[in-house]
Amino acid sequence: MTICILSDVHGNHRALEACLAHARERGAQAFIFLGDYISDGACPQKTMELLYGCAAQHDCRFIRGNREEYMLDYRAGKITGWKDGSSTGSLLYTYENLTGKDLEWFSTLDNQGRVSFPGAPSLFYCHGAPWKTNGSLKQGDPDTEKQLRQLPESCIVCGHTHRLGTYFVGLFALGQKAVVKAGSVGIPLSTPGKAQMLFLHSTGGSMPRWQWEYALVPYDVQGAVRELYTSGLMERGRVWTAMQAHALLTGENIAGLLPPYAQSLYEKDGGPRGPWAQIPEAYWQRAAEAFSLETGKF
């Protein structure tokens, strides 16, 4: 049996469409989606339509990611203050381009899952970590390994890191577990111009196990970047959206570096330490210049 695993689409409908086509060509018999379907990319409805269409045609499992949780928390009033600009403009754009149906569907999704197919071993999957949607299964971390040993499955699949990779927990003779990272469809790191996806193949037999295969799928990355401008997202998300364009074109992640630098500039001028949403726009612009980030015309 062959299963297709797709994670972290982030609204990149062009990459998702290419991955779905590749999975169908490969004869995938089931699909597992690991969350973060929306935000950062343009035209969220195009992504949602592809997800609904896949669910109608194939055996699909879906869980939520932290981006779906952000949308639900904003609807519930647990998060407030989103506005146009580099801090939260991209999130607000996404929220305003979702429907009530989309948000209700997000609310039905769990943050983890396990599934068994005939002739295949049980499989556990989550977005970031079983105990926290935006957590991470860190290799060599004692707490992570302790949590994973409590799972009965020998294969654990996760997303969130936007990178492909595998590592093992424990000794083979004592029930070794494989942690398989599914990468990112929509904002893949280290593989510019190629979406990342994962296939799992069941070996069958009296002692079935999962074998994994990474796939890199070319797609219209220039079109995805161009759509950030034509959709109005670049004007609303500004530096944050420019960072996503940079990641699409280069595979380089500066989203973990530039915002803290903008915060440090703000603090040097007497601003308080706090969430990135409080950073004034001028400091985002200064940080973008320091990182030589090509912002184009907002």
What φ, ψ does residue 125 adopt, rounded to 5°?
A: -145, 150
pLDDT tens, position by position, 81-109:
999 999 999 999 999 999 999 999 999 99
Assigned token pair, 42: 């343009």
Which secondary structure element, helix H or strand E, spans residue 250, and what is its range? helix 239-250
How many residues are recorded in the chain? 298
93-121 CB burial, b ≥16 within 10 A, e <16: bbbebbeeebbebbeebebbbeeebeebb
pLDDT tens, position by position, 257-272:
999 999 999 999 999 9
290 pLDDT exceeds 60?
yes
pLDDT tens, position by position, 11-53:
999 999 999 999 999 999 999 999 999 999 999 999 999 999 9
Sequential DSSP letters for 150-193:
TSS-SEEEE-SSSSEEEEEES-GGGT-EEEEEE--SSS-SS-TT
**Pairing between β-strand 164-169 and β-strand 60-62 as defined by DSSP bridges:** unpaired
* Model confidence band, residue 207 (pLDDT cutoffs 50, 70, 90): confident
Average pLDDT estimate for 214-226: 98
**Pairing between β-strand 155-158 and β-strand 177-182 as defined by DSSP bridges:** parallel
Strand locations in the chain (E): 2-6, 30-33, 60-62, 112-115, 123-126, 155-158, 164-169, 177-182, 194-202, 210-218
* Model confidence band, residue 204 (pLDDT cutoffs 50, 70, 90): confident
**Residue 161: half-sphere exposure toward Cβ, Cα within 13 Å:** 18
Which of the listed CATH numbers 3.90.550.10, 3.40.50.970, 3.60.21.10, 3.40.50.150 matches domain 2-218?
3.60.21.10
pLDDT tens, position by position, 159-188:
999 999 999 997 665 678 999 999 999 999
pLDDT tens, position by position, 125-167:
999 999 999 999 999 999 999 999 999 999 999 999 999 999 9
pTM across the whole model: 0.95
In DSSP terms, which residues pair with 165 in a beta bridge?
181
Query: Distance between alpha carbon 30 and the CA centroid of its chain, in Å?
Result: 20
Assigned token pair, 188: 């893949």
